[in-house]
Structure 1
Amino acid sequence: MSGFGERVRRLATYEGRWLASLVWWVARRRAGVPEGARPLPYAGAQAALMYGLAFVCVVETVGMTVLLRDLPVAHAVLLVVDVYTVLMVLGIQAAAVTWPHVLGADGLLLRDGARSELRIPVELIASVRYELRSGPGNGRSDGHKDGGVRELAVAGQTSVTLELVEPVVAVRLLGRRETVRTVRFHVDDARGAVAAVRAVVGRGEPVTPG
């Protein structure tokens, strides 16, 4: 498959995931959390922002409906765009809720909503610590041939830092591959997540399902 075709396929998959997440959200279900694994939620930090943005979009839709009431074609086109925008904003939040990070006995599955996943085997985790970071650098990667930094920020912040024994390959939404050796991500209960990861890595204790 060509590079363009692969990107289109990935975007279509992402679109389908956040649309499905709306259904799972209403049904109070989570995606890809097997029995015995522990979900590590991270959506709480961005909830107020996303709900506020959705409210603004709804207000804008109502306002444009009034302004374009005498232009039915323009009103219909803009209404479709506005409804899609509201659904997308809610879908992004729904995906963050229904696609949590997952801690299992074999390692961590880190997620960026429905956009991407990064699986880290337990044997590759050298250390984990609570570290609250915020700023313009969050959400980006600093890649080096020996392994850079991958940041999975929520609302511009990360709260847990993983150092790995050796680099892993992270794949972004459109297929770009990066070699990373440090991973920073956010969890709503960051200190609890750090303790749970340390238990799995250091003592092999069973994961307590959330």
Structure 2
Amino acid sequence: MVTTSEIRALPPEPAAPARGRVPRTLRAIVLSAQLGSLACLLGGVPVPGAALLGGGLLLPVLLGSEALVWLRLRRRGLSRREAFARLVPERTARCMAHEARIMASLLRWAVRRPHGVDRADAVFPHARDQAALIFGLAFACVIETLAMSYLLADRPVVHTVFLVVDIYTVLFLFGLHAAAVTRPHVLADGVLRVRQAAHVDIRVPLDRIASIRRETRFTHDREDGELNLTVGAQTSLTLDLTEPVDAPRFFGAPRLVRVIRLHADDPKALYDAVTRARTAPARGAPASG
């Protein structure tokens, strides 16, 4: 089993493909067949039973071939992470890791277990001001689900497809909020860990913070070297750095930033904590006088 942390740390996809020509062709056929069947079902076009049976049989054959490739890579001495990277494109793996973090956040939210707060000097929630928007969108999705159920009552296949999509959309919205709730900003061991939902996690050493100031902004222009982590369309704190830190984009591309704007439910508490930590004497340093 490949863990979420292993998926997140996948190395770049190698140039040499792990599959031979037959598995790649089989994958293309299965994908085309599944998409074609779905399009026919949604359009009300009858699909021959033999075609459905053939598509259903091709899927386990494809999964079996992928398992054989996995075993072959493992026998060559590759780790689980390396074998997974050979089988799954890097962007696909990153999307899978993000979805896994979103769904795991729902469980953390339910049991009230925040992520990454062990041995923290201070924790700063930042999800409060987006709650109304998230819950409003979720309510609209529920109303849309009920309306589509009524309109598609006489088309059970299409109704089922839309029902699954709508339910997943609601779960995803709650997962986004849960990720923000369970992944607060954290100050620990001379590092400010700045986060947003399940896709931004930046560690800023305190000695790289040139200044921190409280300023509420509702408009943010995209500028090179700046990162705006808005919550409810606003930021309340600005960090100016002495040297850039890497804030990778969603698909892993590096992005160096020297200015970070973020939000916290209590910006004064975050400002005071960072100011005290920056000006406090180093641990173990001899006292003057």
What TM-score results when the alignment is normalised by the length of structure 2? 0.66
Provide the aligned C-alpha RMSD in A.
Answer: 1.7
- Letter aligned with residue 172 of structure 1: R
Deviation of 1:201 after TM superposition, in Å, equals 0.7
**Mapped partners of 1:187, 1:42: distance in 2:** 4
Q: Is the 8 A contact 2:246 2:255 kept in 1?
A: yes
Corresponding residue for 2:266?
A: 189
CA deviation profile, 1:159-197 (whole Å, cap 9, x unmatched): 110111111111121112111111110111011110111
**Identity, % of aligned positions:** 44
Structure 1 Cα separation of the partners of residues 179 and 281 of structure 2: 30
Q: Distance in 2 between matches of 1:191 and 1:205?
A: 23
| Corresponding residue for residue 2 of structure 1 | 13
Counterpart of 2:133 in structure 1 is: 49
Deviation at 1:125, TM superposition (A): 1.1
**Greater helix fraction, Structure 1 or Structure 2:** 2
Greater relative CO (CA pairs within 8 A, separation 6+): 1
Give the distance between the partners of 1:37 and 1:9, measured in 2 at CA.
33
In the alignment, is residue 160 of structure 1 matched against residue 237 of structure 2?
yes
Q: Could you tell me which runs of 5 or more consecutive residues in structure 2 were left unpaired when the two chains were aligned.
A: 1-11, 15-87, 284-289
Tell whether the 8 Å contact from 1:105 to 1:200 is kept in structure 2 after alignment. no
- Which residue pairs with 1:108 in the alignment? 192
User: Matches of residues 73-84 of structure 1 in structure 2 within 5 Å?
Assistant: 73-84=157-168
Describe how 1:32-181 pairs up with structure 2 within 5 A.
32-135=116-219, 137=221, 140=222, 142-143=223-224, 148-181=225-258
Asked whether the equivalents of residues 199 and 205 of structure 1 are also in contact (C-alpha less than 8 Å), the reply is no
Counterparts of 2:199 and 2:119, CA distance in 1: 23
Distance 1:5 1:160 in 2: 37
- The whole-number CA distance in structure 2 between the counterparts of 1:134 and 1:175 is 27
**What's the secondary structure of 1:177's corresponding residue?**
coil
Deviations 1:123-179 (A, max 9, x none): 111111101111253xx5x22xxxx11111111111110111111111121112111
Q: TM-score with structure 1 length normalisation?
A: 0.90
Q: State the one-letter code of the partner of 1:5.
A: P
> 1:149–1:180: 8 Å Cα contact kept in structure 2?
yes
For 1:41 and 1:198, the matched residues in 2 are separated by: 18
2:279 aligned partner = 202
CA distance in 2, matches of 1:151, 1:126: 18
Residue 95 of structure 1 deviates from its aligned partner by: 0.4
Q: Distance in 1 between matches of 2:229 and 2:253?
A: 15
| Matching residue's letter, 1:151 | N
Distance 1:196 1:136 in 2: 25
Conserved? CA contact 2:210–2:242, under 8 Å: yes
Matched-pair contact (CA < 8 Å) for 1:105–1:204: no
Larger radius of gyration: 2
